[in-house]
Chains A and B, each alone.
Chain A
């Protein structure tokens, strides 16, 4: 390619010679045309010069030759040989000159090219140098930037301190740590000024010693900032040339360790909290190495729980194992072995025995720690002292057992249910038994329970539950339960609404008691009470029968008066001149007398009447007066006088009026009987007085034959009597009545003769008004 280019270049050179010579010819002809002096030689010289300059030596020589020929043959055919030679010589010399000029030019070009190449290389070298320098500068700048950033990030500043000049150099970060303007000139007094007052002496001494001994420094102190905050710094310095040279420079770093200090403080606080928490929770923590069984860490609480002293150093595996309760040791070991084998944690409760013999219950939870290859390397875990919890659990279990036993013994079951959703939440075992369900089976549904309730009671019981749920009030219901075998049980249940914090109701807690026995007992008691009432009634009627004559006399008195008055009234009216006023007076007396008669009859009738005993407020004084009046005839018949000592105010007791009348009647008649045959003064005394703040004491005394001395203990026995026609039930019934009213009855001898029957009754304070 180069040869081809060279050939082309040569060709172009020759072509240039021809073209330029041709142009010279044309121009010469043009001059000649316009009759101008023939300029061929000048134009030829130009063509030769151009060809030499641009086409090279060969084309130049050719152009010179051709020019000489052309001039000779075209423009100077007639010119003699000398002139022609002169012209040819001109051309030759010019050609030679041009050859020299061209050569000189070529040489110059070569030198220029060489110089240019040298300069280019030098320039390139220079560029490289500049690039390298820039790179280094960039690296240096970056390095400085990194250093500054590193110092900033690490809160570590650097310093230099020349002892001889006292000049101190600080990095930007050092200024930042000291919170001083970088324009400030750092000095020892400035440093001391920033130092916390409490640390100034330490810093001053440390600097002095370092300066004197030219030794390394490494110390911490505090800085007191203008805003009052405190920084912790660590200063590390090293003398740059401590070999005895006079000019020593300390180079070092100032590290802001405030964050570290705070972290340390926080960590220390956390550790304290953790220790306190462990102590409170009675829970210690530990770490041990699985392959070697080496104990790596034990918390203080662990030491306390296991009864070791932390001051004696780390507890060995063997020492720790020895603490295990002998009965639990095998289970403990087996659990750990299984966990290691399965590469899992473990959760275990066991006992340990302390050196003083105390047994502690421990609940330990261990978590395995694996290495990168999946091998178990450590167990990390906690051990909690659950001795107290165990005691509580045991106590709770015992309480539950007692409660269950108590429920079983009392036939009382507890339940909890949401009435709204008709879901039972809790049924005690005894509750299940009460309803004839299997205590171990799942809770029966509402419908199953409803089916066990007696059909006659079901609707009312459910209505009570619904009502209690609607009103948020206590539920109380008595009902019967029909067991699968047909047995009927009587139940009494009470429920209390359990209000949730949201105020939502529906949930009730209650107890159900099997009151079958009590119900049967109550029925029996009622039957007995009825029998007693019947007996009392019979006794009363019998007694009244015996008193017929006396009662007839009592009734007869007002009737007789009434008849007399009625006839008197008629007499006044049937006169020739009727005296209406007198007649009215007589008629009024009739009314009064008949009213009295009616009252007596009513009183007698009430004693005859068989009615259900009822408790009302009764004035004891009034009862005494009534019975005294009723028995007045009987007493007069036997010449017996009566004396009553009663409180001035009414004495109210709660009781059945007729039954209390019966008591007085029995006692008074007994006294009358005792005095019928007695000689001397016959007096029946009735006295009522307060026995204490809550009872009234009533005594009925007589001057009769007195109590049978050999049968004092049998006086109140049923069917015991000293009377020929007595039933032996009077005193028995009287005492029963008094005791049923909450009182007491007893007998004693009267002085100088006769008997006293005493009884007490509780005073109804409310009725006294």
Chain B
């Protein structure tokens, strides 16, 4: 798994630049390679889907939302373990995300360890 993880990277999709930078810095502490994208569309068009070991995405973004991205990946049989992060951390939205196939849905602000453990878990799946 470690080899697998080293070969692939964790994709970060968030329209908020601050959060993208923070997540990149966080993953770096765990030794996880990461690549950030400002929107779902940018990620889909990046051609990096097959190298994506895990996806950390914001649910609410301009244009395509995180849920729509996940649905689109699923529809294209591109099953990437996904951890959602959202500032609107209500239960209803969390359930909606989990039902859509997300590994976890974390509310901002979240604890770094929780996110890292969820990413690790996603990568192990």
- CB–CB B18/A589 < 8 A: yes
B60 near A637 with CB under 8 A, answer yes
- B 1-25 to A, binary, CB cutoff 8 A, 1 in contact else 0: 0000000000000001011011101
Q: Is A135 an interface residue (CB 8 A)?
A: no
Cα–Cα distance between A557 and B23 once the two chains are bound (Å): 12
Give residues 572-598 of A contacting B (CB, 8 Å).
572, 582, 585-586, 589, 592-593, 596
> What residues make up the interface of A, taking CB atoms closer than 8 Å to B?
549, 552-553, 556-565, 567-568, 571-572, 582, 585-586, 589, 592-593, 596, 632-633, 636-637, 639, 641-642
Cα A589 to Cα B108 in complex, Å, equals 17
Cβ A589 vs Cβ B61 within 8 A: no
Assess A568 versus B87: contact at CB under 8 Å? Given A556-B109, A560-B109. Answer: no
Indicate if B112 sits at the interface (CB-CB under 8 A).
Answer: yes
Q: How far is the CB of A264 from chain B (nearest CB, A)?
A: 114
The reply on B111 being an interface residue by CB < 8 A is yes
Nearest-Cβ distance from residue B76 to partner chain A, whole angstroms: 22
Chain A residues with CB under 8 Å of B110's CB are 560, 564
A-chain residues with CB within 8 Å of residue B112 when the two chains form the complex: 564, 567-568, 571
Nearest Cβ on chain B to A563's Cβ, whole angstroms: 4
Asked whether B22 lies within 8 Å of A556 as measured between CB atoms, the reply is no
Across the interface, name the chain B residue whose C-beta is closest to A589. B21
Question: When A564-B19, A592-B18, A641-B63 are in contact, do A586 and B25 touch as well, CB less than 8 Å?
Answer: yes
* A592-B19 Cα distance, complex, nearest whole Å: 11
Collect the chain A residues with CB atoms within 8 Å of residue B62's CB.
Answer: 632, 636, 641-642
Q: A568: which of B18, B22, B60 is its contact (CB, 8 Å)?
A: B22
Residue in chain A with minimal CB distance to B28 = A582
Listed residue (B29, B111, B112) with the most chain A CB atoms within 10 angstroms of its CB: B29
Asked if B88 is at the interface (CB within 8 A of a chain A CB), the reply is yes
Knowing A564-B112, A636-B62, say if A557 contacts B25 (CB, 8 Å).
no
B87 engages A564 (CB within 8 Å): no
Q: List 10 A-B contacts (CB under 8 A).
A: A560-B87, A561-B21, A567-B111, A589-B21, A589-B22, A593-B18, A637-B60, A639-B65, A641-B62, A642-B62
> 3 tightest A-B contacts by CB?
A560-B108, A560-B109, A561-B18
Complex interface bits, B109-125 against A, C-beta within 8 A gives 1, otherwise 0: 11110010000000000
Q: How far is the CA of A451 from the CA of B53 in the complex (A)?
A: 93
Within 8 A of A (CB), among B24-49: 25-26, 28-29
**Range for the number of chain B residues in contact with chain A:** 20 to 34
Smallest Cβ-Cβ distance to B89: which chain A residue: A556
Question: Which B residues fall within an 8 A CB radius of A?
Answer: 16, 18-19, 21-23, 25-26, 28-29, 60-63, 65, 85, 87-88, 108-112, 115
C-alpha spacing A556/B88, complex, angstroms: 9
Residues of A contacting B109 with CB < 8 Å? 556, 559-560, 563-564
| Interface contact B108-A568, CB-CB below 8 Å | no
Tell me the complex Cα distance, A279–B109, Å.
106
Q: How far is the CB of A700 from chain B (nearest CB, A)?
A: 18
Q: Of residues A558, A567, A596, which shows the largest number of chain B Cβ atoms within 10 Å of its Cβ?
A: A567
17 additional A-B residue pairs with CB within 8 Å, beyond A565-B22, A637-B60? A549-B88, A553-B87, A556-B108, A557-B108, A560-B22, A560-B109, A561-B22, A564-B25, A564-B109, A565-B25, A567-B112, A568-B26, A568-B29, A582-B25, A585-B25, A589-B21, A593-B18
Nearest-neighbor residue (CB-CB) of A564 within chain B: B22
Which residue of chain A has the shortest Cβ distance to B19 in the bound complex? A561
A589 adjacent to B19 (CB under 8 Å):
no
**A585 to B26 Cα, complex, angstroms:** 11
Given known A589-B22, A593-B22, contact A553–B88 (CB-CB < 8 A): yes
Question: Which A residues touch B26, using CB under 8 A?
Answer: 564-565, 567-568
Q: CA of A641 to CA of B63 in the docked complex: distance in angstroms?
A: 7
B108 (CB) vs chain A CBs: closest residue: A560
The answer to whether A561 touches B87, judged by C-beta atoms less than 8 angstroms apart, is no
Residue among B22, B23, B26, B115 with the most chain A CB within 10 A?
B22
Minimum CB–CB distance for A581 against chain B, Å:
12
Instruction: Please give, as numbers and ranges, the residues of chain B lying within 8 Å of A561 by CB-CB distance.
Output: 16, 18-19, 21-22
CA–CA, A572 to B28, complex, Å?
Answer: 10
Docked complex Cα distance between A568 and B29 (Å): 7
Instruction: Closest A residue to B113 by CB, please name it.
Output: A567
- Please give the distance in Å from A595's CB to the nearest CB on chain B: 10
Complex partner residue of B60 from A562, A636, A641, A642, CB under 8 angstroms: A636
Instruction: List, in ascending order, chain B residues with CB within 8 A of A589's CB.
Output: 18, 21-22, 25
